[in-house]
Structure 1
């Protein structure tokens, strides 16, 4: 039995002990949104900046655990869509995204041998958002509290409570890392975030009765729920739609994405080729 255990340890040691390195660094790049206000899957005209910090730990030559905290911004507007129907709807939004994530990377190659490697990653994240838009006077208006689609109103129990501003997303994507020096790693990463909410943009289902919304939330809620009367000279101003008329679509949940350039500093006894052999020998030291 001891021989069997020893043999298993021997063949698994390069994977368990060869790269016990820590990495700390930054990611900086762009954020995007996909939802009811984006006519395309992603509208790059509304690309916004993002930045984050990351901590990683190599469990072996191919598996890396990761954690991070990021900040980005998302936005969209019907006014820039090609569809006449969407232009007539005339909705818009902006939101900051704060995200904390945990996950893992699978490195395709041994970066210490090749000097580079592509990788894929996945995980889970907790994020917060807060959609807002500007009114006709340029004032910043928080949208959630207005119940623009009847969320939280007793007359519309099927719409449920007001949506939570803290949600879960499932980060996944791919990247490429280059070992610039023994300590510094440069890379690029594309990361998608499907969410479990359809309200990143405060748009999901249908309009509610104008008079009910007016009585429950006031004139500002009515003004922000339907903005087709603000379209200007390009098309005739519309009137508030009937109760139940389509405002958005709940068929698909909203997404956001964080992509950028990564700069990581590696430290620990496992750094470099010498570190690998040192860790390997430690695994057999009884």
Structure 2
């Protein structure tokens, strides 16, 4: 096929919809912090256990006020009884740390037209799935995976209703933020996002203690050591101090939460300056 001026003009007009389509898409990154709320915190969020978070994201502008976002975010959830003020929690002396790997699909509702105001507050809500694997350091400083130990009798025949918990769970991201245009391509934002989850085992703590001898027989001394760590507070083993079978270890009344808060930076694919230019591109006015 011979390339002519007419062919070039035809190809240019054919490419216009794809160029406009690209302008609706943004790719970017997230840099922020992770916080945890669960059985090892007395307050909703304990800032002493703030840890880093990183992520990648893709945004699609549906219209001026609605944006859909897909993201993959990594963070660290952690907590410990040692910083609580409750005497009972200090005596329990549990702790945990877990990487959190979240994939999410989120809808953002913008309050203003971003291209006109240059900035806009927004709220968001969506659905997420995340992987986790709680660990804790033993007295030798070695990090130990807690799920295989069955610290609350999960998987033992004496406790048939307690099954090993999944290491993948659902979260419900929601929150609010603000974003501002830096130039035609770049947008900077800041948001605070909460994640109520459908698991109570992000921290490996949920219900009651199980019989010490049963746990020892089926899972070994390490499971007993990590299920209750009160002896480490006094530095000596106290006979009979281990909680009785059925004693309260945690509470399954509320599921665990985590939070991702921080900055987003996104780049608009295809260049241009957003909806203003897209409108002109999609509905051109031909003048003689």
Q: Taking structure 1 as the reference length, what is the TM-score of the superposition?
A: 0.88
Distance 2:239 2:195 in 1: 36
Distance 1:186 1:95 in 2: 29
Q: Are the counterparts in 2 of residues 20 and 57 from structure 1 also a CA contact under 8 Å?
A: no
Residue-by-residue CA offset, 1:120-159 (whole Å, 9 max, x unaligned): 1111111000000001110111000000001111110122
Q: Are the counterparts in 1 of residues 184 and 272 from structure 2 also a CA contact under 8 Å?
A: no
Distance 1:37 1:237 in 2: 25
Once the two structures are TM-superposed, the CA of residue 182 in structure 1 deviates from its matched residue by 1.3
Match of residue 109 from structure 2: 106
Distance 1:46 1:166 in 2: 22
Q: Are the counterparts in 2 of residues 19 and 60 from structure 1 also a CA contact under 8 Å?
A: no
- 1:75 matches 2:85: no
Which of 120, 125, 133 in structure 2 is aligned with 1:122? 125
1:41-80 aligned at under 5 Å gives the runs 41-80=44-83
Distance 2:200 2:264 in 1: 30
Match of residue 211 from structure 1: 213
Which runs of at least 4 in structure 1 moved beyond 6 Å after TM superposition?
none
Match of residue 30 from structure 1: 33
- Highest CA radius of gyration, 1 or 2? 2
Distance 2:210 2:87 in 1: 22
Match of residue 4 from structure 2: none
Residue-by-residue CA offset, 1:33-92 (whole Å, 9 max, x unaligned): 000001111100000000000100001000101100010001111011111111000000
Output the aligned Cα RMSD: 2.0
Match of residue 14 from structure 2: none
Distance 1:138 1:18 in 2: 54
* SS at structure 2 position matched to 1:54: strand
* SS at structure 2 position matched to 1:231: helix
Q: Are the counterparts in 2 of residues 19 and 59 from structure 1 also a CA contact under 8 Å?
A: no
Distance 2:26 2:98 in 1: 30
Match of residue 93 from structure 1: 96
